[in-house]
Amino acid sequence: MTQVRTRFAPSPTGYLHIGGARTAIFNWLYARRHGGQFVLRIEDTDLERSTEDSIQQIIDAMNWLGIDYDEGPFRQMDRQAIYNEYIAKLFEKKQAYRCVCSKEELDRKREEAQKAGKKPKYDGTCRGKNIPADCGQPFVVRIATPGGGVTRIDDMLRGVIAFDNEELDDMILVRTDGTPTYNFCVVVDDVDMRISHVIRGDDHLANTPRQMIIYNALGLTPPKFAHVSMILGKDKARLSKRHGAMSVLDYREKGILPDAMVNYLTRLGWSHGDSEVFTRDELKSLFDLDAVGKSAACFDEDKLTWINAEKIKTESEETLAPLAMEFLSAKGISADKGQVVKILPMLRQRARTVKDLAEGMLWFFADSVSYDPTAVKHLAPSIAPVLSTLGDRLENADFASPESVEAVFKALLEERGLKLKDLAQPVRVALTGGTVSPGLFEMMIALGKEKCVERIRKAAQTAQAEGVAK
């Protein structure tokens, strides 16, 4: 049995977007599922648009996603000698020829064909002329496409697709500057790298018959193809920036975990029963093309965030803590990992993103808290003496456990004839500046006696000042 070898071959003309990331993940998982190899190839023959920055961004995004490749990254512009060898083979087989038609001639022929209601394809003027390499004129190299018949593709997702060769022209394989074209390079690379399966977006489907013409001209067996349906926005329109189709690394800045992104993008077109959340190992053992749908998938950032929240609940503290610390550092807070690990259990059940997680820790690391304008109403003048007494009693309290702190509360509430809700919310505002927090007593133990007493006394003064102002 042929070893499974898949590849991801992005063009470095921009960042790695959602669609490209899913293609990479599908190829990676298919290789891992079948004990094969996954190759990274950079298709940089578009010299005007390809940039080193884009190449680095693609590699950084794959590293963040945790998509490891067995070979590469290979760069097409480093492989010119190999392409030349295959061009020579096509000339030997009389399957390629040089064309000296100028741009002006080609434009004129295209216009004439359009006026005549014909397909504006190259008319084969130079075919059969055996123009030599030293002809003294600029030339391109074209392939001699069969004049009739059909080219068939047996797609693993779509079945047999037939293309009429009359619709295809003698496409250019090498430009006048000597650089090879996309479709030619793809064929040579996939052959040379022994790629067994090409899994890519269906926007490449139109290229496939052209590539098959090259395989046939060289007498080579093509890989198996699987063209995956495109990703749409929630409004069923093609995914664009307005849908959130940004760089994959932008989602890292939003606080999305790489495991959540891999999980979500895998489920964007693939299913396994009703399950939504998978570990990496589960995806590697379960993913296969027979469960990939033919219909276009819809990108839903809310669903991605939901999966992210589920991942945060189960992710190890060793992984989450450094990520939260990065967000804290961006806010100018230098946090100790031990302290972050200490308070993670209180926050992870409610956090939707790592950013939420970090922002939920600000009260812990801040020297003092600022009150949310909507939360100050809980610091009413009537609660000032209660807060003041609570501060005094907590100063002498045992902070050994949440229960010991709770006992102080209960005694004070009983004395004042109050319910827990009457005091809990003002204390929450005092300690965090807002009305939402982890469990009150667990939070106080984590924060420590000194900070708790200091913040509660400050809140008492604020509440008292409110009364004086009125």
Q: Which residues pair with 141 in a beta bridge?
A: 98, 174
> How crowded is residue 150: how many other Cβ atoms within 10 Å of its Cβ?
13
Of 252, 276, 201, nearest in space to 63 by CA: 252
Q: Is 241 a catalytic residue?
A: yes
Residue 302 is given by DSSP the state H
Q: Distance between CA atoms of 127 and 144, rounded to whole angstroms?
A: 7
Q: Distance (Å, rounded) from C-alpha 320 to C-alpha 258?
A: 11
CB 21 within 8 A of CB 248: yes
Dihedral sign computed on CA atoms, order 79, 81, 85, 86: positive
User: Helix 440-447 crosses helix 449-469 at what angle (to 10 degrees)?
Assistant: 110
What 3-state DSSP class applies to 163? strand
The structure tokens listed for 365 are 């690391």
- How far is it, in rounded angstroms, from Cα 306 to Cα 290? 26
Q: How many residues does the chain have?
A: 470
Between CA 8 and CA 73 the distance in angstroms is: 10
Q: Which of 265, 270, 197 is CA-nearest to residue 5? A: 197
Q: Which helix (H) or strand (E) holds 197?
A: strand 197-201
Q: Which of 103, 236, 241, 419 is catalytic?
A: 241
Alpha-carbon distances, residue 456 vs 48, 206, 398 (angstroms) = 63, 68, 17
Q: Residue 162 pairs with which residues in a beta bridge? A: 152
Q: Which residue has the tokens 């005694």?
A: 411
Catalytic residues: 241
